[in-house]
Amino acid sequence: MHFVTAPNGVCYLRSDAIALPHGFSTRIGGVSTLPHTASLNLAFGRGDDDAVVLANLDRFTEAVGVPAEVISLPQIHSADVRVVGENDRGLGCQRPADGSCDGYVTTSRGVTVGVKTADCVPILLADETAGIIAALHAGWRGTAAGIAREGVRKMVALGAHPSRIKAAIGPAIGPCCYAVGEDFLAAVSAFPCADLCLPHITRRAGQNFADLSAMNTDILLAEGLLPAQIDTAGLCTCCDTEHFYSHRASHGLRGTMMAVIALPKGE
């Protein structure tokens, strides 16, 4: 995975594993001027005027090369994955919508799906042969509940095959910074993917630390993806606040990033 700076000044991350238009935003290249959202905040309700967020969204989607009408509903840290299409364009961004969702799968060309993060794990999936893509938001609850598993299974139900699905796991809080309490272990133990998650909670210096990216990697592997099909950024949002927004590092006063992917029209 590598940084790209577009002609309009937007800096984002792109994975070599996925050939389709996609990107993981940074906080660089937008028009937000508030100290905590500067400069590419991509979520409403963080302090920016809606017009500023929409301008940032236009800049980001232009840089990545995807249609601007991103589908990205409010997120609730669930394992809910919704199959979306043409009629859902812009829901949650340019068009108001009821409900919430933490993942999207689509077979529709020219439809952009996106998830918002600021320490949680953004995951983009693509079976380019079948023409099926997904975007998933995996916080600790969504991870342990199996949103990565649900995303793969929804894709397979539409005709994808695990041997062809490429995964890009974007920047997220790393095990260097994600200290968790004993209550966290107990909570994770109650979720469906506990057996794959608990090995990635390790103890050092008297504290527990969780590796959300590794948890999601193992869940994807358990669904049949091969290690060579999974590209992980390996960048900690909490460590690198020059490039990324971090909920933990900022104590909640921050902007929000987005990961997007789309199937190009006419292919």
CB 139 within 8 A of CB 89: no
Q: How many domains does the chain have?
A: 1
Peptide bond into 213 cis (omega under 30): no
* Whole-number pLDDT of residue 265: 86
Distance between CA atoms of 143 and 141, rounded to whole angstroms? 5
76 is a domain residue: yes
**In-domain check, residue 257:** yes
For every residue of 10-26, DSSP letters joined together read -EEEE-TT--SSEEEE-
> 122 lies in which domain range?
2-172+226-262
Rounded average pLDDT per 10-residue block, the chain, 267 residues? 98 97 98 97 96 98 97 96 96 91 97 98 98 97 97 98 97 97 93 96 95 98 97 98 97 97 85
Query: Which CATH number characterizes residue 68's domain?
Result: 3.60.140.10
Q: How far apart (Å, rounded) are the C-alpha atoms in residues 62 and 43?
A: 17
Residue-level pLDDT at 98: 87
Would 11 be classed as within a structural domain?
yes
The pTM for the full model equals 0.97
Q: List alpha helices for the chain, DSSP H.
A: 50-64, 140-145, 147-157, 182-189, 194-197, 212-222, 247-250
Q: Give backbone dihedrals phi and psi of 56, rounded to 5 degrees, phi first.
A: -65, -40
